[in-house]
Amino acid sequence: MEKKIKGLHHITAIAGDPQRNYDFYTKTLGLRMVKKTVNFDDPKTYHFYFGDEVGTPGSILTFFPWPGARQGQDGAGMATEIGYSVPKGSLEFWKDRFEEKNVRHFQIKEQFGERKLLFLDPDGLKLSLIETTNDDRQGFKSNEVKADAAIKGFHSVTLTLNFAEETAAVLTDIFGYEKLSEEGSFHRYKTDATENAAIVDLFILPDAYRGINAAGTNHHVAFRVKDEEDLMQMREKVLAKGLHITEKIDRDYFYSLYFREPGGVLFEIATDNPGFATDETVDELGSSLQLPARYRGAREQIEKALPELRE
């Protein structure tokens, strides 16, 4: 049986102030801090994971928050909008909440037959809430965001590109997506290998400048496979198309491969296993700083270097 990508696994973005980032995603949006660790390549920087109760693949938005980071700029060769799925009829709640909390947002509109509310996080990262009726995932509930409005996980991701063809070929020929429709400059692709977090929209702007990857922009988009066997089969498919791809990398909570698709977007392929409840129980997720094995001997120095986080 041909292996297919199982939709989105996680998306990683860049932020500025860690406290502001933490407060927005846990308090304003009501997501759970699933894991608090450090950047594997820069242990003086946090790596935050926000998602549902257990960190289900397809619900996780992660951040590298660098205090004082310069402002980035969306452009061609980047993921430029993250779409979250929310319950039908909840957008008015969210619009009122954003007005109350001074979150920059736009008018509710319809795209591809679905109601959506576009908004910006404190660093200018572009996100949207999209009402869906066929998503039975349970969002993480908080004191202020109840089940009837809770964010369920990803709905889609939008990639801004100068041209569609080569990126579309990666989605269809390697990942197993199919083209659904077009609306203006947007081309929608979807996989049938999963019910949710299954959509990639290509936004085609032939004259767009390349983006600047810094605070308020997305760093990479990770797609989901079941395990290492499927991961390595997907690697062979990428190589067969003449694209460069990394060796397998152990990220503690999943195994990864990275490659840059022809339009310039950095793609990751990540496994479902082993998951986030390996160094913490489900109840404890995100409650303390977890370090990769190679940094555990330096915990004291790392904790001193990291900005204090009030939770």
Cα–Cα distance measured from residue 216 to residue 10, given in angstroms and rounded to the nearest whole number: 17
Question: Strand ranges (DSSP E) for 205-288?
Answer: 218-225, 249-250, 254-260, 266-274
pLDDT at residue 1 greater than cutoff 70: no
Residue 116, H or E segment: strand 114-120
Question: How much is the pTM?
Answer: 0.97
pLDDT in tens, 74-132: 999 999 999 999 999 999 999 999 999 999 999 999 999 999 999 999 999 999 999 99
pLDDT in tens, 222-241: 999 999 999 999 999 999 99
Cα–Cα distance measured from residue 226 to residue 248, given in angstroms and rounded to the nearest whole number: 14
Q: What is the DSSP string of 183-217?
A: ETTEEEEE-SS-SSS-EEEEEE-TTPPBPB-SBTS
Q: Which CATH superfamily is domain 8-305 in?
A: 2,3-Dihydroxybiphenyl 1,2-Dioxygenase, domain 1 (3.10.180.10)
Any residues with CB less than 8 A from the CB of 15 and at least 6 apart, and which? Answer: 21, 63, 64, 65, 66, 69, 121, 122, 123, 125, 215, 216
